[in-house]
Each structure stands twice: as C-alpha cells, then as structure tokens.
Chain A
Amino acid sequence: MSRTTTRRSLSAAAAAERGQGGSSIDRQRRKLLVPFVGPAFIVYTLLFIIPAIGAAWISLHEWAGSGPMKFVGVKNYIRVFQDDLFMKSFGNTLLLLFVVGAAIFILAFAMTLVLRDMAGKKIVRNVIFFPHLINALVFGVLAGFIFNPGGMVNTLLKPFGVTEPPAWLAQDNIFPLIMATLVATTTGYFTTILMAGVDRIPPYYYEDCALAGANAWQRLRYVILPLTWDVFGTCAVLWTISSVKIFEIIWVFGGSSGAGIPPTQSWTTAVYTYVTAFSGQSTPAYGAATASAIISLALVSVLVVFLRRAMRRDAVEF
C-alpha cells in the first residue's frame, strides 16, 4: 500500500519535472501565456468579474442607486421570486429561449437542406442573412408602420373586404409578434453558421446516401446532424446567451419609441431589471434590479453548462 503511494508520488514528481523541463517549444509557450493572456484577463476582471461581484453585493441591499444602502440579506431575491410580474417576465425569457430557439433551429436546418442543392444559393444566403445586420430597433419602429390600425397591413387587407382586422398591436399580441420577428431575423444568422458546417461535409457521403436511396430526412439524421453536431452545439450556446439578454426589440416594440414603457405582457427578465432600476417614474430599486440580473446570470450559466453536457458527443473525424 505504502509502496504504491510512494511510486505514485514518484511518478508525479517525475511528471512535474518533465513539465518544468519539457521541450523548448513548451517552455516558450508557457512563458508567453502570462503576457498574452494577462491583459485580456485583467480587462475581463476589471470590466466583467468585479462589476458582477459588485452587483451581487448590491443585490443584498435596499438602495436607490445613491445615498445610504441598507443591508437586507436575501430579501430582494425572495421579493423578486414572489413578484408575479418577475415570474411572468421569466416565463417570457424561457419562451424566447426554447420556443423561438426551436423554431429558429428547425427552420435553419430545413433551409440548410434546401439551400445545399439550390441554384444561386450564395445570393439566397446573403438575402436570408441580411435581416440580422439590421438593428432590432428598426424592426421595433417598423412594427408601428406595418401594424398600426391605419398601417400597411390593414391598408392591404381593405381591398379584400377585411373591415374588422385583428388588433395586431394589442398588448396581448405584442409578445407573439416579437417572437415572430426574432425568428425571422435570427434564422438567417444561424443558417449561415450551420451552412458553413454543412459545406465541410465531403460530397461522397451524399453520393453514398443517393446510392442507398436515403431520403432528405434520413440524410439529415444520419449524415448532416452527426457531422455538424459541434457547430450546432456552439450555435445553441450562442442562442442561449443572446436570448436571455434580449431587450431592445421589446423596449421599442411596445409603445415606447418615445414615451412610456412596454406593456408588462411582453417583459423579459432583462426588461424587468431595467424598469426596476431605471424606469424614471419612481424611486429606483437597485437591490431588486441587481437581484433580478443575478438570477438571469445564474440562469444562463446553468443552461449553458446543461447544454454543453447534453450536447456532448465524440467528435466525428472526417
């Protein structure tokens, strides 16, 4: 027993020694680690980690943003979780993450399949990517032109005898509209990334599929998905992170291009956080706002870890 321990510690020491020495390239690499990673690490610590710790500290207080701070422990978290409005906003965030996410990836894969064999696919790719280049604010403002009672859609519907068109921008319809807009603007982005992965697949796999009589679905299931799994995984993480932060499109979609704030039906946790701290209508509650922000951060972290776990596969070499 003691001998194995000694042997193990001996081999560990030997490994450590090898680590110290190693090849000259290894040594060179190690020396460069600090000057290369250091600056990024310092900037990251200063701009992200320290503020995040600061936010966690603020979330334990009752604070109007300036003046005296009162320590209240986890009361802000309890209050935020008891707030129906926060739970509704949280639900909306999850809707964006899962429902919009699912729609985006189903559409993106479908487009990938169609685009692969299509004539003029480069042009089409550019066209579907284009909406992503436009600031979400533009869509928020455009929504007014398109869906207002006297807007474009209703004007177009009039010749067809629609005199009682749906109340497009009613408070309850705004969130579904935002979801649809997000699908329309984000699908192209992920299609482009997935296409890059699909383009890497050697053509003989498809030829093999054709010879074996595989249909489009089987081709997706047995060739494209396994060979683009790592790309898809990265896309899923990217979407998770960005969806939890979605803010500006909601802010401008719901009646706030100049006055007021969006209807609570369309709030996400990001909007909830903003209104709690910066609404300008009442005394700011920085403690509750940061508590809500920290909860969002925790949500993203948990989901990303979970996603990485769930998506983990051995990379297929080809």
Chain B
Amino acid sequence: MTTKFRFARTLAVMAGAALALSACGGGTNGSAGDGGTEGGTLSYWSMWKEGEQQQLIIARAIKDFEAETGATVNVQWQGRSNVQKLVPALNTNNVPDIVDGSYAKLAPILGDTGQALPLGDAYAAEVEGTKVSDLIPKKYLTANNILDADGTPWMLPYSLTSDGFWFDAAQHPELETAPPASWDDFIALLDKYKAEGKVPLAADGDIGGYNSMWFTTALVRTDGAGSFAKVVQDKTGAAWDAPNVLAAAKRVEQVVKGDYLIKGYNASKWPAQQQVWATGGAELMLNGSWIPTETGTYASEGFKFSSFPFPAEAGQPASVRADFGGWAIPKKAKNPELAQKLATFLLKKDYQDAYGTEAKVLPIRTDAATSPEMASVKKSIDGAKEIYLQNDGVTAPGYVEKVFWPINDELFLGKINAGEFVQKMKTATVQYWKDNS
C-alpha cells in the first residue's frame, strides 16, 4: 500500500514537472499575443549576429522604434541560420512575428509555401511622406518574385546584394574609368596581367556558389535574365543543347584552361584565396558585394575596393544581379500590424544611409547614400535595364546543391571540359525531373 502510494506520488511529481515545463514553453508565446495595439510586444529573429555592422544599425533603429511606439521588441540575433530555424518553428505556435533574410532563403521557406503574410499594409504605408511602394524600385520586382498568389508582395526589402569583378582601385585606377567592355576585352586584360607576371584571378574554388557565378552570369549575359532558370526547367533536357549554353560553358573553360586562376584555387579552404587577393596576391576576383565588409579587416593598407560588372554582350541590355535582403512576416505572427510597422520603420532615410555608409552594403532606397566601395556597383545597378538573381532564381528542391554545383565544380576546377559539362548537366537534369515530378 505504501509503495503504491509512493509510486503514485512519483507519477504526480513527474506530471507536475512536465506541466511546469510545458507552461514555460507556453509562456513565451502568450506574452507576444497582446494584440496589435500601440505598445505591444514583437519577437524578431534576426539574420545578423551581435557586433556586425548591419546588426548595430538595426539595433539602433529598434531602439528608436521602441521609444517612438512604446512597443517592446524581443530580438534574437541568430545569424544566417535564422530562416532554417524558422522551418520547424512554423509548425508550432512559437513563431516569431518578423524575420529577415535574403530573397533566396526566404522564398523557398515562406514565399513559395504560402506561409508569408501579404504585406499590403506595409506597402501602402508612408515613410517620411513617400509611399513605401514608391521607395522600392519597380525594376527589381520582375526578378525578385515576391508577389504571392493574389499578387500582393510578401517581402519588404531593405537592402540589395550584387556581384562583380573586385579589384584594388589604388593599383588599377584605369579599371574604374574604363572597365573591359566585352568578353574579349576581359580576356585581353587577363592576358596582359599574365604577361606582366601577375596572377590575374583569385577564386575560392571550394565554394560551389562562387564557382557557379561564372557559368550562370555568362549565360545570362547572352540570353538574358531568367535564361538559366529556363534551361533548368526544361524537363526534356533539350535546352542544354542550345549553342549559347555551350558557349557560356566554353567561356568558363577558357578562364580555367587559360591558366589565369591563382595556383591552388582548386585545393584550398575559404577564405584562403580571398585573403591572398585582398593582400595583393591576385588582381581580380569575381564575388559578391559583401566582399569589402568581409575582407576589409585583413586587406592591405590603402586597398581601395572597387568593382566592374561581368562583361556585357553586344546587343544585350545591361543587366545586373540584385538579390533582395529584407523582411518577411509569417502568417502565424501574433502581432502582424506592429511587425509591418517595424519593417517600414527601417526604410527611413537615416537608417538607409547608415546601411550604405556604415555597413557598406547596398540600401534598397535609390536616394540613400552609399560608401565609395559600393559606388561602382551602385552605378551599374542604377543603370541596369534587367535584374537577375543568384542561381538565376532556381530554387527547385536540391537542384542547385546536388545537381548544378557538383557538376559545375568539375568544370570550374578543370576536371571536365565545356562539352562534357553540357552533356552531364543535360543527363542529370533529365534524371532530376524524372525523380522529382
């Protein structure tokens, strides 16, 4: 009898503990559900980590936002994996009210799956007298497909990322005024550096996403924005037989076989080669607009970051890569109104200027100030007629990391030639769609 009682007591204690634990879990949600009134609470999972320049600006904006609205923003500075962490959270009630990330990361998780809140209210709101929808240049919206099924945008961008050939303008001021106008000019420039005994190009060949910029950009230059995505979407694989696809691959092969790339690019660990580049060990590097921030700490003294776009193709409109970085609000958010208010708050000129000059990235507002490092990129973005995305916007499950990158790596690391690349990509793409349709 006594043991039975003791057993019952043990069970009771355990049940109590379990309840207490679940109560803890529930408590955090409950506090966020105060409704959309002024002075509510907002939870924000950030893509930035404490100490990063972007984080400092957003933290400052949030402080001002709290002072102005009386709201409390609970921020978790999670870093780049915040969107990945969001996936399991979306199935629970513990969903953040607002997250930020790149379009490439938010689209597959929130946008394409219909889990993002339509931001009609945010776009209709006014920031410093201008409607938000007028602050986001229309030309970006053709490539960054942020419209949901009903045609309302689900993402509110606050910055852009782009890419180009980066160089030290202190060493090569001539590239700022007269960058290579065509592919042939570009190759001639590489040959010139080689003849001078310099290393023309640096590349961290272990990063599939950097290696693939060469082929996708080369194809987009000849066939226009969205052309790579179209080739990928062709389930018969026939699109890979197009002459321009082979021509784009041949350009990559030309760079690889031409002995322009830094020795050991195929056997190093990021960021070894970009470090070599930033300390003067190579002249050019094809990479993203994050390079000045990323390499700024170890670049040689007097290094003047500048860039020119991937050479244009005669008869084709000037195009440029511009990926959105910005806000999205899950449909399950407890406080969507306040979240939209915070999203638009970041579009104030003050913060946008800080984004450009302090964080040295590209603010979404065209009238915002930018740093000298970004001047060249900013110029090509403003002048571009067409916009394309990283991986040309391909987000089919696993295609980029399991099909495209591995085969493209073989091409870029010199293991196969252009013809073999096209054949392999064709076979693998046909197989991919057979498995995934």
Chain A interface (Cβ < 8 Å from any Cβ of B): 31, 34-35, 38-39, 42, 64-67, 79, 82-83, 85, 143-144, 147-151, 167-171, 173, 254-261, 263-264, 275-276, 278-285, 288
Q: Specify which chain B residues have a CB less than 8 angstroms from the CB of A143 in the assembled complex.
A: 269
CB-based contact B269/A257 at 8 Å:
yes
Q: How far is the CA of A263 from the CA of B268 in the complex (A)?
A: 12
Q: Specify which chain A residues have a CB less than 8 angstroms from the CB of B394 in the assembled complex.
A: 282
Interface SS of chain A: helix, strand, loop or mixed?
Answer: loop
Q: A171-B206, A259-B270, A280-B83 are in contact. List 18 more A-B contacts (CB 8 A).
A: A39-B10, A65-B87, A65-B88, A65-B109, A66-B115, A67-B114, A67-B115, A148-B269, A167-B267, A169-B206, A169-B267, A169-B269, A170-B413, A255-B204, A276-B397, A279-B398, A282-B397, A283-B108
Q: Specify which chain A residues have a CB less than 8 angstroms from the CB of B396 in the assembled complex.
A: 282-283
Q: How many whole Å from A214's CB to the nearest CB in chain B? A: 48
Q: Specify which chain A residues have a CB less than 8 angstroms from the CB of B11 in the assembled complex.
A: 38
CB-based contact B207/A144 at 8 Å:
no
Q: Specify which chain A residues have a CB less than 8 angstroms from the CB of B114 in the assembled complex.
A: 67
Q: How far is the CA of A83 from the CA of B269 in the complex (A)?
A: 28
Contacting chain A: which of B217-225, B319-327, B373-381, B400-408? Answer: B400-408
CB-based contact B272/A148 at 8 Å:
yes
CB-based contact B401/A261 at 8 Å:
yes
Q: Specify which chain B residues have a CB less than 8 angstroms from the CB of A263 in the assembled complex.
A: 206, 208, 406, 409
**CB-nearest residue of chain A relative to B395?**
A282
Q: How many whole Å from A268's CB to the nearest CB in chain B? A: 14
Q: How many whole Å from B233's CB to the nearest CB in chain A? A: 14
A34, A254, A275, A279, most chain B CB atoms within 10 A: A279
A-B contact pairs, 25 of them (CB 8 A): A31-B7, A35-B10, A64-B113, A67-B113, A144-B268, A147-B267, A147-B269, A149-B267, A150-B264, A150-B276, A167-B266, A170-B267, A171-B266, A255-B204, A256-B270, A259-B207, A263-B206, A280-B81, A280-B84, A280-B105, A281-B391, A281-B401, A282-B397, A282-B398, A283-B397
B138 at the interface (CB under 8 A from A): no
Q: How many whole Å from A52's CB to the nearest CB in chain B? A: 16
CB-based contact B400/A65 at 8 Å:
no
Number of interface residues of B (CB under 8 A): 54
Q: How far is the CA of A212 from the CA of B83 in the complex (A)?
A: 69
B11, B401, B435, most chain A CB atoms within 10 A: B401
Q: How far is the CA of A261 from the CA of B212 in the complex (A)?
A: 13
Q: How far is the CA of A150 from the CA of B264 in the complex (A)?
A: 9
Q: How far is the CA of A41 from the CA of B105 in the complex (A)?
A: 39
Interface SS of chain B: helix, strand, loop or mixed?
Answer: helix
Q: How far is the CA of A148 from the CA of B269 in the complex (A)?
A: 6
CB-based contact B10/A38 at 8 Å:
yes
Chain B 273-314 residues near chain A, CB threshold 8 A: 276
B135 at the interface (CB under 8 A from A): no
What does the 1/0 interface line of B92-132 toward A look like (CB < 8 Å)?
Answer: 00000000000011001100111100000000000000000
Within 8 Å by CB of B208, from A82, A260, A284, lies A260
Q: Specify which chain A residues have a CB less than 8 angstroms from the CB of B395 in the assembled complex.
A: 281-283
CB-based contact A283/B112 at 8 Å:
yes
B399 at the interface (CB under 8 A from A): yes
Chain B interface (Cβ < 8 Å from any Cβ of A): 3, 6-7, 10-11, 14, 80-81, 83-84, 87-88, 90-91, 104-105, 108-109, 112-115, 204, 206-210, 263-264, 266-272, 276, 391, 394-402, 405-406, 409, 413, 435-436
Within 8 Å by CB of B270, from A170, A257, A288, lies A257
Q: How many whole Å from B399's CB to the nearest CB in chain A? A: 6
**CB-nearest residue of chain B relative to A78?**
B435
Q: How many whole Å from A262's CB to the nearest CB in chain B? A: 8
| A255 and B270 contact, Cβ closer than 8 Å, known pairs A261-B401, A264-B406, A278-B84 | yes
Q: How far is the CA of A284 from the CA of B84 in the complex (A)?
A: 9
CB-based contact A284/B14 at 8 Å:
no
Q: How far is the CA of A147 from the CA of B269 in the complex (A)?
A: 9
CB-based contact B276/A34 at 8 Å:
no
Q: Specify which chain A residues have a CB less than 8 angstroms from the CB of B436 in the assembled complex.
A: 79
| A285 and B409 contact, Cβ closer than 8 Å, known pairs A64-B108, A280-B83, A280-B105 | no
CB-based contact B272/A285 at 8 Å:
no
Q: Specify which chain B residues have a CB less than 8 angstroms from the CB of A276 in the assembled complex.
A: 397-398
